[in-house]
Each structure stands twice: as structure tokens, then as C-alpha cells.
Amino acid sequence: MSSKIKKEIQRRRTFGIISHPDAGKTTLTEKLLLFGGAIQMAGAVKSRKTENHAVSDWMSIEQERGISVTSSVMKFNYRDCEINLLDTPGHQDFSEDTYRVLTAVDSALMVIDNAKGVEAQTMKLMEVCRMRNTPIITFINKLDREGLDPLDILADIEDKLQIECTPLSWPIGMGKGFKGVYNIYQRQLHLFTPSQSTRTQDGVVVKDIDDPVLDELLGSQAEALREDIALLEGASNPFDHQQYLKAGQTPVFFGSAVNNFGVKEMLDAFIELAPPPGPRAAAERMVSPEENSFSGFTFKIQANMNPAHRDRIAFFRICSGKFTRGMKIAHHRLGKEMSLSNATIFMAQDRSNVDEAYPGDIIGIHNHGTIKIGDTFTDKEPLKFTGIPNFAPEHFRRVLLKNPLKTKQLNKGLEQMAEEGAVQLFKPLMGSNYILGAVGILQFDVVIARLKAEYGVDAVTEPVEYSSARWIYHNDRKKLDEFTNKNQANVAVDAEGHLTFLATNKWWLERTMEKFPDIIFQKTREYN
């Protein structure tokens, strides 16, 4: 492999943000893009969020999709690095895609609201990060507001997320008394000045924590800072880069995204600490990014960008080798050769054709339904990347067709949407109506609206009694059949033919798992 390609790999950082709605992900994203010079105007990312999510109005979903695709992957440069920020949709558009995006990143940034601590959605996303031990940097946001004691926030993270915290900066006061942050490792003091869009001045360098400059600048808060730092030295673990890379430890920064305070320090640390693209597991072997052969996988499909053309964009993460426009690749699932002549690279607010791309980069490939989530493409060797699964849905609805003559179209529409990962489809062993499963409830409205717009099918959904799903396995087919016979009312077959246990509640699920200890119940399932 040429040294140019090695260099390109080393300068790439591909990451996603995990947070609970309202913690400040959008605000922080905007500031990061400003530092990267990718957007000129603050507010460009924000405008997307304020779009109306009127789901009954199909056009508005379409418009929303148009916008969200450009911000699905944001590419920007900072210092010598080329950064790919993959959007993890939250709020109403929280879906399986949100989880799956995290299978395509090399690291994550966790944003925590200082008044709330660790919240539900962050815990769910953290669970996905755990699957691949994704390294995480933490940004505790909104220090310009009163919040929890910083030490309590760290304890909350350690307790709920089971990861060791190691603060690399420390806040001085909060809310009205917020004076700034002390960068523990660089021994720099950054004084808080609110409402700056791009902050350029550097911090004040101090000799050590006893430097009288601190007293001059902070007054009585200097002593409090010294006490905090002394306490931290005794209580918290020293930063260990290897531990961070193994996801055993998270470096923590404090700041205020809306005031663009503490963001640059965090970004500087991010590009130094966060890993460049590393080896990825395929079913056959580990694949190193530095291999000459091109390879990668699809982790997201965005459908019908233009309803008139029924086209789809497959989001494809490059794992090894170099992409060049027009190159021929092997689509192993179909056993076909494909030319990547119209791949798109994602820039914030813009899409442009790619001429070359490297491991860690995400390219968008237009297609008409030939690409599925989890598909691996290489230039020759048959490989199948693993770890891009289906996630057990948490919401369920039964689909009812208004016009029985449209059964065929309904089936086709649902099967295609299941392939895109827009929704999961279950056919119960008993009963004839399909059950839809999703990680976020907006998906049901999207499916019904798309059935009408794209397949001419009038359908509705109604609630069902299920609340969790687990894929079930056993080496011995007879044992699986025994289980299925005893639980007929709760077993369904998913879109790829796998048996799934649908439970009405958590208690019922746990009881069944205890009753059938040799059946394997899985929360995720790899694509065929």
C-alpha cells in the first residue's frame, strides 16, 4: 500500500454523536462544522430540526428526507484531519438507522446535559457502542446553566454506563457563576465569554494549579478549583489512551455548545485521541484498512429521494483500499459486477460526486433496490462484513389493508421497506396480518404514507399486544420446533425467514427465557 493511502487513512476520523434529545447534539454539530469551515452560517443545521414533522403530510416527510440526507453524513476538515460526522437521528426520527449508524463509526462523542445526567436514549445508544467497544469521548454541556455537581455527573456516567470517567478539563462554577474551564492536561485556563460563534483566542497557560495567575483571574473560585483538582487526583483514574481505545475509559470535557465554549478544546483532543479507521471483522477474516483491495459495507438505505424515480441511496462505509470513480466492484450477494460511476460523497449542505475516497469515508450509491443493508462489496475477494445487524424492535403494530385486492402490492411494499431497514416485518404463525416492528414509532407513519404514495396501497395500523421481540435459535431443529409449538401465539417469522419470539411484556419474556434455558434469545440479528 502506498504511503499516500496510509496517510489518508491516518488523517481520517469517522464518528457519531450519542445523546438524549435536547442535550445539545444539533448545537454542538453546528459548532464543529463551523470549526471545520464546512458551513458558513450558524443555524444551517438547526433549521432542519425545526422542520415540521407532520407525518400525515407525505410531502413534508419527503422534504424532510431531502434535507436529512445531506446532513446524514457531514464531512469537514479540521487541522490536518478529514472528519466524517455521521448523524444519529433522534427525536421523532429515532429509528433503527440511529443504531445502525453506530456500526459504521470508529468512535463516538457522547453529549450529556449537565442538569439531567445520563438519560434513557443515551443508555440505549451506549448499548450499541458496547457491541463493538467503540471508544467514546464525553462532552458535558450547558455549563452556563445551573446543573448537577460535576462529580455527581461523573458518578452517574460510571454507574449507569459502566465506563470509567477521566476528566481532561474541569469547570469553574456553573450557571451565573460559570467562569470557564481548566484544562487539566495542558494546564491552561479558558475563561468563559458567552455567545461567540468562532472563538480563536487561546487559553491562559499556567505553571501549575498553584500559579497565582489563577487567583488574579478567578478570585475566590481559584481555591475551589484547587480543591476540586486535588479531589480528582485522589479519586479519578489517570487518563490512559489504551483504555479509551478499548472503551474502558471515557475522557470528559465540560463546556457550553451554544456559547461555543469548550468545543475547540474537545475537538483538538478528539482528533488526537480518537482512532483512525481500524481493522473490521468479516465472517472470513479481519480486514485491515491498509489492504490494497477495496472493501466496505452498506449500513443505511435512504429510499425514494425522488418519488418519480424510485431511486435509493445506499450509504456505504469504505473499510479498505481506495475508491476511484467508475471502479468495478463485486456485489457478492447477487453474484454480480457493478460499476460505481455515480457514487456521491456527503458534504454538509451539499452533495458532490466523488473521484476518490478512502477507508473511513462514506459514499452514497444510487440504486433501484439492488442493494440491501449489510451488503458487502469488494473488488474481488468474497467477504461478508459482520456487525451490521437488525435490532430488536420495541414498538409493534398490525397492518390492516383497506382494499383486500391490493394484497400483492402490500406484500411487495412491505418487503421492500423491510429490506431498506425502514421497518421490520413479522408474519405470525397464527393469524394472517403482518406485524410491523420498529425502534421508533414515527416509522409506522412513514410506512403507511409510503405504501400509499409509492405502491398505491391504502392501509392502516392498529396496536398489538407485543412489546419486545427476540430472534430464537437452537442447533437442534427439533428443540426449536418444540418451543414453537408450545408458544404458537407468540412466534412469528421475520422478512428473512428467521423465527422470532414476540412477548407481550418484559416479565413474560424473562419467564419464557427461564423456562427454555437452552433456546437462544437474541436482541440483534445479522443480515443474511
Cell numbers at 502, concatenated: 414476540
Total of residues contacting ligand G4P (CB under 6 A): 18
| Nearest-approach distance from CB 26 to ligand G4P, in angstroms | 3
| Nearest-approach distance from CB 282 to ligand G4P, in angstroms | 34
Residues 476, 172: Cα–Cα separation, whole Å:
61
Question: What are residue 437's DSSP bridge partners?
Answer: 396, 424
> Residues 19 to 48: which contact ligand G4P by CB under 6 A?
19, 21-27
- The answer to whether residues 467 and 503 touch, using CB atoms and an 8 Å cutoff, is yes
Q: Which stretch binds ligand G4P (CB under 6 A): 68-76, 209-217, 257-265, 400-408?
A: 257-265
Residue 110 in the binding site for ligand G4P (CB under 6 A): no
| Nearest-approach distance from CB 20 to ligand G4P, in angstroms | 7
Q: Which of 132, 145, 351, 474 binds ligand G4P (CB under 6 A)?
A: 145
Residues 222, 384: Cα–Cα separation, whole Å:
56
What lies within 8 Å, CB to CB, of 120 at 6+ separation is 20
Q: How far lies 424's CA from each of 285, 297, 373, 483, in Å?
A: 29, 20, 13, 23
| Nearest-approach distance from CB 56 to ligand G4P, in angstroms | 23
- Residue given cell 435512504 in the structure block: 302
Which residue's CB is nearer to ligand G4P, number 256 or number 302?
A: 256
Q: Which of 161, 257, 371, 392 binds ligand G4P (CB under 6 A)?
A: 257
- Phi-psi category of residue 456: left, alpha or beta, with phi > 0 → left and psi -120 to 50 → alpha: left
| Nearest-approach distance from CB 177 to ligand G4P, in angstroms | 14
Q: Which stretch binds ligand G4P (CB under 6 A): 161-169, 237-245, 256-264, 463-471?
A: 256-264
Q: Which stretch binds ligand G4P (CB under 6 A): 255-263, 332-340, 398-406, 464-472?
A: 255-263
| Nearest-approach distance from CB 87 to ligand G4P, in angstroms | 10
Q: Which of 95, 138, 141, 512 binds ligand G4P (CB under 6 A)?
A: 141
Give me the DSSP letters along 153-180: HHHHHHHHH--EEEESEEEES-GGG--E
Residues 98, 237: Cα–Cα separation, whole Å:
31
Site string for ligand G4P, 74-93 (x = CB under 6 A): ----------------x---
| Nearest-approach distance from CB 91 to ligand G4P, in angstroms | 6
| Nearest-approach distance from CB 250 to ligand G4P, in angstroms | 18
Q: Which stretch binds ligand G4P (CB under 6 A): 60-68, 251-259, 293-301, 373-381?
A: 251-259
Which residue's CB is nearer to ligand G4P, number 389 or number 440?
A: 440
Which residue's CB is nearer to ligand G4P, number 163 or number 257?
A: 257
Which residue's CB is nearer to ligand G4P, number 145 or number 351?
A: 145
| Nearest-approach distance from CB 353 to ligand G4P, in angstroms | 30
- The answer to whether residues 82 and 347 touch, using CB atoms and an 8 Å cutoff, is no
User: What is the phi/psi pair of residue 347, to 5°?
Assistant: -120, 155
Which residue's CB is nearer to ligand G4P, number 27 or number 84?
A: 27
Residues 458, 363: Cα–Cα separation, whole Å:
35
Rounded to 5°, the CA angle 242-248-252 comes to 90
Site string for ligand G4P, 49-68 (x = CB under 6 A): x-------------------
Q: Which of 64, 87, 144, 265 binds ligand G4P (CB under 6 A)?
A: 144
Grouping H, G, I as helix, E, B as strand and the rest as coil, residue 142 is coil
Burial class of residue 507 in the structure, from the number of CB atoms within 10 Å of its CB (0-12 exposed, 13-18 middle, 19+ buried): exposed
Which residue's CB is nearer to ligand G4P, number 68 or number 484?
A: 68
How many other CB atoms are found less than 10 A from the CB of residue 146?
Answer: 13
Residue 322 in the binding site for ligand G4P (CB under 6 A): no
Which residue's CB is nearer to ligand G4P, number 47 or number 162?
A: 47
Which residue's CB is nearer to ligand G4P, number 176 or number 478?
A: 176
Question: What are residue 74's DSSP bridge partners?
Answer: 85
Strand-strand pairing, 164-167 and 249-254? parallel
Residue 256 in the binding site for ligand G4P (CB under 6 A): yes
| Nearest-approach distance from CB 425 to ligand G4P, in angstroms | 30
What lies within 8 Å, CB to CB, of 233 at 6+ separation is none
Of the chain, the end-to-end C-alpha distance in Å amounts to 32
The number of angstroms, rounded, from the C-alpha of 74 to the middle of its chain's C-alpha atoms is: 13
| Nearest-approach distance from CB 111 to ligand G4P, in angstroms | 6
Residues 190, 145: Cα–Cα separation, whole Å:
17
User: What is the phi/psi pair of residue 300, to 5°?
Assistant: -160, 140
User: What is the phi/psi pair of residue 345, to 5°?
Assistant: -110, 145
| Nearest-approach distance from CB 104 to ligand G4P, in angstroms | 20
User: What is the phi/psi pair of residue 130, to 5°?
Assistant: -60, -30
Residues 124, 288: Cα–Cα separation, whole Å:
29
> Residues 187 to 226: which contact ligand G4P by CB under 6 A?
none
Which residue's CB is nearer to ligand G4P, number 148 or number 314?
A: 148
| Nearest-approach distance from CB 395 to ligand G4P, in angstroms | 21
Binding site for ligand G4P (CB under 6 A): 19, 21-27, 49, 90, 141-142, 144-145, 256-259
